[in-house]
């Protein structure tokens, strides 16, 4: 079988895949820009560069193995129609994003921006009060692998940790989980709201004005999922009102975030450029599921992380 790797990929990984018995080719960003690449592959491995390609040109395509967990940038209806097997990189970034959520909560509670600005300006100004994580309550919108890794790490801070999922099923590391019917009563008393839902037709603008109105006054908000799961205009409105005390945002409706966005100038907003999943072992995580599935194909084993194209995750 022939495999194409989109974008940058380490030669050692390519050589390993060749040793498994595959024919391989690398397709760079420049190749895609110049329309200079073959279309006769059965397997494509990649992520965001798929946006620049027309999958209809790959008549032999049978498998797509993603480097990303998100799938919202792909032509999912076409993939379903052609019965192409799509596998994402679920779980590969859970630990670093879990740490990023803890970091974001601490940054907001301990006034990280003020601390850094004071150091830069050589200001010695003691503070009598900072926020705490202990004895607080966090509600996670979503209880998948990323949420579980964050909850696992936060459990040492003596927080009450509540999870929201579609049926309210119990999930490890959460004190309890609720469904939509019981969500508002938990949001009313939550100090932190952490958004980890996937981007689907059902979750678009899940965090909208009506839901934000249910937040406890002064709650802090984190989004590491996808920008379109939040109504950004409503978020800005309630950040300005102080209903949401502060927010740590790693994803946005449009990326890169426009220089005209008022979010840039808000003292109560921490912005990062979609980097919550990065780690010092990033490359190993990048190709983790693609590697495993290429191995499993050769060994006639079941593939991992097959996306349900009806549910879109």
Query: Residue ranges of the domains in the chain?
Result: 2-92+280-298, 94-271
Average pLDDT score over the chain: 97
Overall fold of domain 94-271: Rossmann fold (3.40.50)
User: Pick from 47, 90, 8, 93: which is nearest to 275 by CA?
Assistant: 93
Over range 233-257, report the average pLDDT. 98
pLDDT digits (tens, 9 = 90+) for 135-165: 999 999 999 999 999 999 999 999 999 999 9
Cα–Cα distances in Å, from 116 out to 130, 232, 239?
15, 27, 22
Over range 153-178, report the average pLDDT. 98
pLDDT digits (tens, 9 = 90+) for 248-290: 999 999 999 999 999 999 999 999 999 999 999 999 999 999 9
- Whether the Cβ atoms of residue 307 and residue 313 lie closer than 8 Å to each other: yes
Polymer length of the chain: 313
Instruction: Give domain 2-92+280-298's CATH superfamily.
Output: NAD(P)-binding Rossmann-like Domain (3.40.50.720)
Predicted pLDDT at 184: 98
Binning pLDDT at 50, 70 and 90, where does residue 169 land? very high
- 2-92+280-298 and 94-271 in the same fold: yes
What pTM was computed for the model?
Answer: 0.94
Predicted pLDDT at 261: 98
Binning pLDDT at 50, 70 and 90, where does residue 96 land? very high
């Amino acid at each position: 079988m022939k495999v194409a790797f989109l974008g940058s990929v380490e030669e050692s990984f390519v050589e390993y895949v060749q040793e498994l018995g595959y024919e391989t080719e690398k397709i760079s960003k420049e190749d895609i820009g110049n329309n200079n690449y073959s279309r006769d592959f059965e397997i494509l491995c990649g992520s965001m560069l798929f946006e620049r390609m027309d999958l209809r040109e790959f008549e032999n395509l049978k498998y797509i193995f993603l480097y990303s967990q998100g799938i919202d940038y792909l032509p999912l209806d076409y993939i379903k129609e052609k019965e192409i097997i799509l596998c994402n990189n679920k779980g590969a970034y859970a630990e670093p994003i879990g740490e990023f959520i803890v970091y974001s909560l601490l940054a907001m509670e301990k006034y990280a921006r003020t601390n850094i600005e004071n150091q830069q300006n050589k200001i010695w100004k003691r503070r009598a009060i900072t926020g705490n994580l202990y004895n607080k309550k966090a509600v996670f919108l979503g209880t998948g692998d990323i949420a579980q890794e964050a909850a696992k790490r936060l459990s040492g801070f003596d927080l009450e940790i509540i999870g929201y999922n579609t049926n309210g099923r119990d999930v490890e590391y959460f004190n309890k989980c609720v469904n939509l019917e019981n969500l508002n009563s938990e949001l009313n008393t939550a100090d932190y709201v952490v958004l980890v839902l996937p981007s689907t037709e059902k979750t678009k603008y899940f965090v909208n004005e009506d839901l934000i109105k249910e937040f406890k006054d002064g709650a802090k908000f984190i989004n590491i999922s996808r920008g379109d799961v939040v109504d950004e205009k409503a978020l800005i409105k309630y950040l300005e009102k102080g209903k949401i005390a502060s927010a740590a945002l790693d994803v946005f409706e449009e990326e890169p975030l426009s220089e005209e966005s008022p979010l840039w100038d808000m003292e109560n907003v921490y912005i990062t450029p979609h980097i919550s999943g990065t780690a010092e072992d990033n490359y190993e995580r990048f190709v983790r599921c693609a590697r495993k599935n290429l191995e499993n194909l050769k060994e006639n084993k079941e593939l991992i992380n097959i996306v349900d194209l009806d549910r879109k995750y």
